[in-house]
Structure 1
Amino acid sequence: MQDVYIKVWNRADRFDAGRASPITWLCAIARNTAIDWCRSSRRPGMAPEEAAAEVADAAPLADMVIERDQHSARMFACLDELEARQRVAIRSAFLDGLTYAQLADRMAVPLGTMKSWIRRGLQQLRTCIGDG
C-alpha cells in the first residue's frame, strides 16, 4: 500500500480526469503495483484452490467443540448443585490435584470422612449428568 501511495503522489500530475475517474486511476496503479510485486518476489506458484482440501487441520470439528462445551457446562452446573463441602473437596481433588489425605488435613476431618464425601458427591454428579 505504501508503494501505491508513493506512486500516486509522484504521478499526481499525470492524472487526466477526461480518461478515468480518480478511483479507477488509483485502482489501476494499485493493481499494476501488486502485479509488479508478485513478479519481482520470485515466489513459487500458488497451489490450486482444490489443494486446500488436502491440508490437515488439527482443530476439532465445530460439533465436537459444541458438544465438549455443553458437557463442561453441564458438569459445572451439576457441581454447583452439590453441598459446599463436597463441591470443594471434588474440585480440589480433581481440578487442583490434591490427595484425599491433603484434603482431610486441610478441612480438618478424618480421611474416611473425606473419602465418603467425595464418593457420595461423585455418585450425585453421575446421577445429575445422566439426567441431562
Structure 2
Amino acid sequence: MSPEDAPEADEASDPPIEAAINVVPVWRVDSGELHSRRGGIVDPEAETLDEELVLALADSVVTLSAPVDLSPRALTVLREQLPLPPAFDRSGSLRGHQLLELDAQGRTVVDEVTIHHHTTFGLLVRDRGRSLE
C-alpha cells in the first residue's frame, strides 16, 4: 500500500506515541563522590570511561516511557534538565543516555518531578507539576 492509498488517521482517536528516556542512575555518597549501582566511582566530567565502568553503567540503564512510567511533561523536564556526559556519547553503549544523580537515599527532585529508587520496583517517578488534563 502506498502512502497515497493509506487511510487518513483521525488524530483524536490515535493512541499517544510512546516516548522514552534512557537514564543511568548514580548515587551521591557521603564523601561527595558519585557511585554506580555496583559501587564504581563515576566522574561525569571525565573525557572517557574505562570499559569495566561502562559495562557496569550500561547494566544499570533504566528506560522510562511516557505515558507508562511518567507523564509526558515529566519526560520533557528530564530530557531538558538531566545532563548528557560527553564520556557517555564517546562510550558507544551509553550514547544518548542521560545521567540521573540520586542522593544517598536514592532520591532526587528535578523541577517538580520527584524520582525515588525503590529496591524492589526500581525508579518511581512522581510529577507534582502535572496538570489534570
Alignment TM-score, normalising by the size of structure 2:
0.26
Question: 1 or 2 for the larger relative contact order (CA 8 Å, sep ≥6)?
Answer: 2
Asked which structure has the greater CA Rg, the reply is: 1
- The structure where helix makes up a greater share of residues is 1
